[in-house]
Amino acid sequence: MKGIEIKNFKAFNNASIVLGDLAVSEHKNILCYGENGSGKTSIYEAIKFFFFKERIIKEKVPNIKVGEERKAEIRQLESNYRNKSMIEEDIFIEVDGMSIESFNFDEQEVYMVSGKDLQVSNEIDILELLNNCYLTRNTIIGEEGCEELIIHEVNRLLSKYFHSDIEICLSQDQGNKIVIEDRIRGLRLDRFFNDFFNESIIRDLCKTLILKFAHYIIFLYLYGMKQTLSSPSFA
């Protein structure tokens, strides 16, 4: 994604906000900062609305709503995202100059993590953690060896960058549950983490887990594309 243009969405009225360079850009990252109420969350929500609109509809509109009633619920949902001073105007969001209708989502890998996704008080279930986040592809649970590979990488990062004495491993009898080991204190726990560990440590651990899984998702997708394109039918 090189740039995004937003208009009539939450904090933004009919004066467009443009982030990035919609023409040509050599910059890969954008840092957004500002006072409370300046629109930072609206930018995040606009990106989520653009890439995950169908999931948002599934989460917000009950399945029992069908036909015209369902269409009315979806229209109301979209209306809730509009700027209150421009309630009659349509939402305008374009990524790289393309609307939701014309954008090729198969060419993009997106993952979005908010602070509330990292709030864990009792236990960590990898599958539940991933399902709470917004990932374009989150189907790698069950890929042979992927969990062990990622947990090994997470432990390396915890030691190198967070200078942490803890390590994680998969529970032997609870599927996707994470066990935290603190060899210094002689602790081995699969629940009640916040009773024994600093909240920031748990948050950093969850964030690292999510990001490494997201990176692995992208790797599997790109590797699969490479294998498909190099198969005899594409020769």
Could you please report the per-residue DSSP string of 116-175?
Answer: GGG--SS--BHHHHHHHSEES----TTSTTHHHHHHHHHHHHHHHHS--SEEEEE-SSST
* Cα–Cα distance measured from residue 40 to residue 63, given in angstroms and rounded to the nearest whole number: 31
Residue 227, pLDDT above cutoff 50: no
Average pLDDT value for residue range 115-140 = 70
Residue 79, pLDDT above cutoff 90: yes
Question: Which of 193 and 118 is assigned the larger pLDDT?
Answer: 193
Residue 233, pLDDT above cutoff 60: no
Phi-psi region of 96 (alpha: psi -120 to 50; beta: other; left: phi over 0): left
The whole-number pLDDT of residue 117 equals 67
Reported as a single tens digit per residue, the pLDDT across 3-32 is 889 999 999 988 778 887 665 556 677 788
Q: Identify the band that residue 106 occupies on the pLDDT scale cut at 50, 70 and 90.
A: confident
Mean pLDDT of the chain: 78
pLDDT > 70 in the chain, percent: 78
Q: Identify the band that residue 168 occupies on the pLDDT scale cut at 50, 70 and 90.
A: confident
Residue 78, pLDDT above cutoff 60: yes
